[in-house]
Structure formats: C-alpha cells, structure tokens
Amino acid sequence: MNTFYHLCFVVQDIGRATEDLTSTLGVTWSPVRAGTLGDWDYNIVFSVEGPPFFEVIQGPAGSPWDATDGSRFDHIGYWSEDVMADKERLVDRGAPIEFDSCPYGRSFTYHRLDSIGARIELVDLSVQPGFLETWAPDAAAMPALDLDDPTTGPVAPNY
C-alpha cells in the first residue's frame, strides 16, 4: 500500500479546530500561516507530529476549502513524482478532478471519491523540500505515490 503523508480537515475556525485536536489527542502545531491562491486568502497549519501529518485549512466561501456548510474531513494527501500523469491515472480509475491548482501556478490536484465523501490530493514531489523546511524540519523525506504498484490498482481487498 502507498503511504499518504497527511490528512486534511477544512474548518470554519482554525483556532478552535487546532485547540480541540490538541486537547483531545495531544497534537502539537507549527505556527499558522496565511496563504493566497488566486483570489482566495486562507489560513493553513500542519501538525508537528508526522508523517502522517494533520493539516487544517480555513478558507473563504467559494474556495477549494469552503467550510460554509460545516467543518469536515476533506482529503488524504500523497506526494506525486508526476502530477500531470498521476492525475490522469486517478481520473481513469474513477476519481475525477474536483480542483486543479496548475492554472494558478501551483502543483496539486484534488480528486473526488464520493464513496468516502472526501478527496485525494496529489502534490508535486518537487515541493517536498520546501514543505519539510517550512513545516517539519526534522522529518525525513517521504515517498511518492506509486500508481504502478499493483496494490493500488482495482484489486479486491484481502481482509
């Protein structure tokens, strides 16, 4: 099985969400950072513990992180050696693109999996050094998703 590197929650109140995860699970956090993608300003934070990391994002209405209808689990994040090729592979496997950041000069995509009510995120592996420097300076390099791995194809589960 391929290794994901983070689980993301999209929230209405990033302070409350991180405080709740700290008080209930003992999660510690890097400093919250502000970001912009297109016309959307957002706040983002990653747990210190990881991988896998917790990611929490608070974004405005209409953004890819819109939590107008309530805070929720949003996506599972994977590194990709080739986002362009891997995003097409996920589409071919039944996970349509819900949001593509490439037109905004970024290199991640969200793919919808209605059966789990969440998305899969592919993030270009080339940005991993910056991620590690910003969020997890003591963490080791993480592997990329391998969609050629036979365990990631449409194989019946072995319970």
Asked if residue 43 belongs to a domain, the reply is: yes
pLDDT of residue 40: 97
pLDDT of residue 1: 53
Asked if residue 147 belongs to a domain, the reply is: no
Q: How would you label 33-54 residue by residue, b for 16+ Cβ within 10 Å and e otherwise?
A: eeeebeebebbbbbbeebbebb
CATH code for the domain of 109: 3.10.180.10
pLDDT of residue 156: 40
pLDDT of residue 157: 42
- CA angle, 47 as apex, 41 and 51 as ends, to 5°? 120
Asked if residue 1 belongs to a domain, the reply is: no
Q: Rounded CA gap, 103 and 87, in Å?
A: 14
pLDDT of residue 92: 96
**pLDDT tens over the chain, length 159 residues:** 578 999 999 999 999 999 999 999 999 999 999 999 999 999 999 999 999 999 999 999 999 999 999 999 999 999 999 999 999 999 999 999 999 999 999 999 999 999 999 999 999 999 999 999 999 999 999 999 998 865 554 444 445
Domain that holds residue 46: 6-140
Q: Rounded CA gap, 144 and 81, in Å?
A: 6
Asked if residue 136 belongs to a domain, the reply is: yes
Q: Quick one: tokens of 54?
A: 């917790």
**Total domains in the fold of the chain:** 1
pLDDT of residue 132: 97
